[in-house]
Amino acid sequence: MTGVNGDLTRLSLNQETIKQWSLPELAEGCVKAGVPGVGLWRAPVQEYGVEAAARLIRDAGLTVTSLCRGGFFTAIDPAERAAALADNRAAIDEAATLGTDTLILVSGGLPPGSRDLFAARERIADALAELAPYAADRGVRLAIEPLHPMYASDRCVVSTLAQALDLAERFPAEQVGVVVDTYHLWWDDTVATQITRAGAGGRLASFQLADWITPLPEGVLLGRGQLGDGSVDFRWFRERVDATGFTGPIEVEIFNPALWARDGAEVLAEVAERYRTLVL
C-alpha cells in the first residue's frame, strides 16, 4: 500500500533528519505537516526524559516508529560485553516506554587488533540470544540494520541484507527482524532477492530512506543525501518492499549538516514533497 493520492499516512520523520529541532519542535512540526510517525534517538530522548518524551509524542497523536540505537555487540573483553548487554537492556526498556516495537541495532565493528569478521558476527548472535527473549517480553523486536561495507571495520560487521537475515533467522521472527535502509543497500544487486526473503520470513521490521551522494564527506557518517539528490531509486525499493506485504511506516533518516543548518519546517516540507514524487 502506498496511501491514497500520494498522502503521507506511512511517512515517518527520523529525529536526526532535522536534528536542529527539539523534541517539542519535532512533535509540533510533524503534526503541522501531517506526518504521523517519528523515529527517535536515545541521547536526545534521555536528555528530555524518556517518560516525558513518551507522553509528549503520545499527546501529539504521533507514533514512534523506531528507536535508535542498540547494538555494538562485538567486543571481546568480558567487561565491555557485559556493559553492552546492560546498555541494550536499557534501550529495550526505553523503546517499550516510548511505545515502539522496533529497536534498531547497529551491531558493532571489529574490536581493536582483530581482523576476524566471522567471529565478530558470532558474538552478535550470542548477544541476540541473550537479549531477544528480554525484548520480546517487553513487546520490542530487535531490528538488525546492515550498514554499507565502508562501515565494517569500526561500526558494523553486518554489511548486507543477506548477512543480517542469516543472523536474524536463528531466532523467532517476532523477536529479531531486519532493517532495509536504502542508503546502505542501494548498491547490492542481490537486494531484491533478499527483500523477498525477508518478507517471506516475516522479518521486515523497518524501512528507511536516505540518498547516496558523492563525494562523501570526511568521516562519512554525515554524508546522507536528501531524497532525490543522489543515486538511489526509491520507488524501486518501495515497490519491492510493498510486494512482500509490508505496510508499515517508511522512515526518512538523513544525517546531513547542510539540512541541519536550514529551517526545520522548510526541510520537512521538502522531505514530504520528495516522498510524494519519488517514493509513492
Q: pLDDT tens-digit profile of 95-116?
A: 999 999 999 999 999 999 999 9
- pLDDT at position 3 is 43
- pLDDT at position 218 is 82
Sign of CA dihedral 158, 249, 93, 55: positive
- Bridge partners (DSSP) of residue 133 are none
DSSP 156: B
- pLDDT at position 55 is 98
- pLDDT at position 2 is 42
- pLDDT at position 1 is 37
The set of cell numbers assigned to 154 is: 569500526
Q: Cα–Cα distance between 244 and 176 in angstroms, integer? A: 17
- Alpha-carbon distances of 245 from 26, 38, 195, 206, 228, rounded to whole Å: 30, 22, 11, 13, 25
> Is 175 within 8 Å of 142 (Cβ atoms)?
yes
Question: Tens of pLDDT along 80-96?
Answer: 999 999 999 999 999 99
Q: What is the pTM of this model?
A: 0.96
Low-confidence ranges of the chain (pLDDT < 50): 1-5
- Bridge partners (DSSP) of residue 66 are 39
